[in-house]
Amino acid sequence: MTKLGLLNSVWNKVLTTVLPAQCVGCGVSGTYLCDDCLASALWLEEPQCEMCAEPGVASPCSRCRLRPLAVDGTVAVFVMDGVIRKAVHQLKYRNLRALAPILGRPMADALTQRGVAVDALIPIPMHPRQLRSRGYNQAALLAKEVGTRLEVPVEQAYLRRQRWSGPQVATADYDSRWANVAYAFQCDANVQGKSLMLVDDVMTTGSTMHSAANALKEAGAAQVWALALAREV
């Protein structure tokens, strides 16, 4: 861990020890996200595209028919909105790592419900530069939580980010997002014949998942699925 990462980690400990936990949704104390707020969040429901998890459409959706994702399917739990948007922001930018166990639980449940069994979970890696400044990868925190709950190993080393693609929020339009992450990932591990699950906090167009899945399939993976906490719609 870098100095900054270590400092972040210590600061996170201090914050979560000294300050009482407060729900990011309603402010009730004792938890970082209460059961009521989680229950009233916008859960992704059927009908939805099984490839990219876009809600309210037939499967596969028109976009996936036109440009199929390299994933075998996507499992997403929430619509990126309301309390979930707040929680992701806190987890990602405000160092509130204590949210990961709370958010990982419904992700694990969703996988069980969909009945997808995989050999390993792979968090979407951050670029080393980005990782150094944040100190942690929120996707890895979520993957760890899901892995523990489902007893599936997390293999961070299976995928490497080989190119700085800049923050996705800065490249808004659809085509530039795709161009931006194409060939961003590299797999040097032996994944021959394996069934794998990519894990990320937020999925927008699916371009990141697509690019990561491509790298794994080129390396011989038999199946690559995508799991996201939230889906931008």
Cβ-based nearer residue to Zn ion, 154 or 224: 224
User: CA distances (Å), 106 to each of 78, 162, 226, in order?
Assistant: 9, 31, 15
Minimum CB distance to Zn ion smaller for 61 or for 142 = 61
Q: Tell me the site size for Zn ion, rule CB under 5 A.
A: 11
SS3 134: helix
Using the contact rule CB under 5 A, the part of the chain among 37-45, 118-126, 154-162, 169-177 near Zn ion is 37-45
- Does the protein bind Zn ion through residue 51 (CB under 5 A)? yes
Q: Considering only residues 78 through 117, tell me which ones interact with Zn ion, judged by CB under 5 A.
A: none
The binder of Zn ion chosen from 41, 49, 84, 184 (CB under 5 A): 49
Region of residue 193 (phi > 0: left; psi between -120 and 50: alpha; otherwise: beta) = left
- The reply on whether position 44 binds Zn ion by CB under 5 A is no
Nearest residue to 74 (alpha-carbon basis) of 48, 92, 56: 48
Among 8, 37, 87, 99, binds Zn ion (CB under 5 A): 37
CA distances from 75 to 4, 28, 184 (A): 34, 30, 22
Q: Can you tell me the distance from the alpha carbon of 141 to that of 13, in angstroms, rounded to the nearest whole number?
A: 15
Binding site for Zn ion (CB under 5 A): 23, 25-26, 34, 37, 49, 51-52, 54, 61, 64
